[in-house]
């Protein structure tokens, strides 16, 4: 299940607000770390979801170890700016003077795209970090991109900066290196998370086109999250449908039974309610399937489906999802469905 990213060291996760980007990122990280890899999860200057999901406190740029092999950091634009400046200005004293100069700060912070370039340059720094044996320090870096339709714009900033400066000068150089890393399909993967609904599916298909057009590289994987599973296997579905038809004949106002306390709660109405409840779940799964079929058919990338879970704590959902991604599916029927483009 992790094949699409197993050999990619840098993975960007994007998608609309609330679709589960942070949950999926955290679950992927847990699954990879459990597989013995050293994984770094990066957030980009947002209210941190990982602090809650991983139960830790971000202390600045320096990644915090969450568990064996799992690290996290929330890259604030402020700290990335300072770190980048330090790399450019050889003297610590001069760097500090610039950083502490109010006017210089206002000037730098007002310059276009400084935040994007310095954050992405910090990602590159972590990417290039090596251990004592001169091997990459992190096996995987997962970046939970901010919620917006602008992930492509965000990732394209370094290439734009590089072009604007005609490749001349240290900032153009830095931007060029970051742009090359983002464009490199062999090391970098782009994943879009979406929901099995009409608009999100259409937007994901458009996003994939936009990625190719703007970044000149493909999107690697779409994850359809929170998919409703059907509670019924194909072989018992006809039996259920017959039962449902009879309940509908007997109780034309069966939906009313859910709300109407007057209508005695005897065994018959209890069964009618149970059948109708199941019919609802079957309906949700069928509706999801329509949009998923469209996504599988029209998206030029593999699609991975992840089910909706009903745990109340986000960290429990991460745990379940991580086990599923790792291919351990104790709840056999819950196995995620994958397709390749
Ligand atoms: N497969 C799932 N089943 C059930 N709930 C889920 C699932 N995936 C995510 N959630 C829940 O949905 C909510 C949103 O998830 P999450 O915060 O990961 O989304 P996000 O895309 O990162 O949101 P944001 O755009 O605000 O950063 C959370 O409450 C999370 O626990
Ligand atoms: Mg999030």
pLDDT band at 148 (very low <50, low <70, confident <90, very high): low
Q: Which domains does the chain have, with CATH numbers?
A: 3-228+297-339 (3.40.50.300)
Mean pLDDT on 24-31:
96
Question: What was the pLDDT predicted at 56?
Answer: 93
- H or E segment at 194? strand 188-194
CA of 16 to the centre of ligand 2 (A): 9
Inter-residue contact 62 to 68 (CB < 8 Å): no
Instruction: In whole angstroms, give the CA distance from residue 89 to residue 94.
Output: 7
What pLDDT shows up at residue 250? 87
Residue 158 has pLDDT above 60, yes or no: yes
Q: List all residues whose CB is within 6 A of at least one atom of ligand 1.
A: 15, 17-23, 49, 147, 225-226, 306, 308-309, 314, 317
Tokens of 189: 């993967």
Average pLDDT over residues 188-201: 95
Distance CA 323, CA 36 (A): 14
**Ligand (nearest to CA of 310):** 1
CA atoms 227, 229, 234, 238: torsion sign: negative
- Å from CA of 18 to ligand 1 middle: 5
| Residue 219, token pair as written in the block | 């999107």
Picking from 119, 139, 124, the residue whose alpha carbon sits closest to that of residue 184 is 124
Question: Residues 247-256: what's their mean pLDDT?
Answer: 82
Q: List pLDDT tens digits, range 98-124.
A: 777 777 777 666 666 888 888 999 999
> For residue 320, what are the contacts with CB-CB under 8 A and spacing of at least 6?
309, 311
The pLDDT-based confidence of 260 (bands split at 50, 70, 90) is low
Whole-angstrom Cα distance, residue 208 to residue 5? 17
pLDDT at 330: 52
């Amino acid at each position: 299940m992790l094949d699409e990213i197993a050999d990619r060291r840098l993975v960007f996760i994007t998608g609309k607000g609330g679709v589960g980007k942070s949950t999926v990122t955290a679950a992927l990280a847990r699954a990879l770390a459990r597989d013995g890899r050293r994984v770094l999860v990066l957030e980009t200057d947002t209210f941190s979801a990982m602090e809650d999901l991983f139960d830790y406190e971000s202390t600045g740029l320096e990644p915090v170890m969450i568990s064996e092999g799992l690290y996290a950091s929330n890259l604030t634009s402020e700290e990335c700016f300072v770190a980048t400046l330090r790399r450019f200005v050889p003297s610590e004293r001069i760097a500090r003077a610039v950083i502490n100069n109010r006017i210089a700060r206002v000037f730098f912070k007002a310059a276009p795209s400084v935040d994007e370039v310095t954050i992405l340059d910090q990602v590159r720094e972590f990417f290039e970090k090596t251990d004592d044996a001169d091997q990459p320090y992190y096996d995987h870096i997962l970046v939970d991109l901010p919620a917006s339709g602008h992930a492509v714009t965000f990732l394209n900033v370094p290439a734009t900066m590089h072009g604007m400066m005609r490749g001349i000068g240290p900032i153009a150089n830095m931007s060029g290196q970051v742009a090359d890393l983002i464009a490199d399909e062999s090391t970098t993967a782009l994943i879009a998370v979406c929901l099995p609904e009409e608009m999100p599916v259409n937007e994901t298909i458009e996003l994939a086109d936009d990625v190719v057009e703007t970044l000149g590289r493909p999107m690697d994987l779409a994850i359809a999250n929170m998919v409703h599973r059907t509670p019924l296997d194909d072989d018992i579905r006809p039996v259920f449908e017959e039962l449902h038809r009879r309940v509908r004949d007997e109780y034309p106002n069966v939906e009313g039974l859910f709300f109407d306390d007057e209508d005695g709660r005897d065994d018959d109405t209890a069964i009618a309610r149970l059948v109708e409840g199941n019919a609802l779940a079957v309906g949700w799964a069928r509706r999801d399937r329509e949009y998923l079929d469209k996504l599988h058919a029209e998206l030029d990338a593999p699609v991975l489906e992840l089910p909706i879970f009903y745990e109340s704590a986000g960290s429990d959902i991460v745990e379940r999802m991580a086990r599923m991604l790792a291919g351990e599916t104790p709840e056999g029927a819950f196995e995620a469905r994958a397709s390749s483009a």
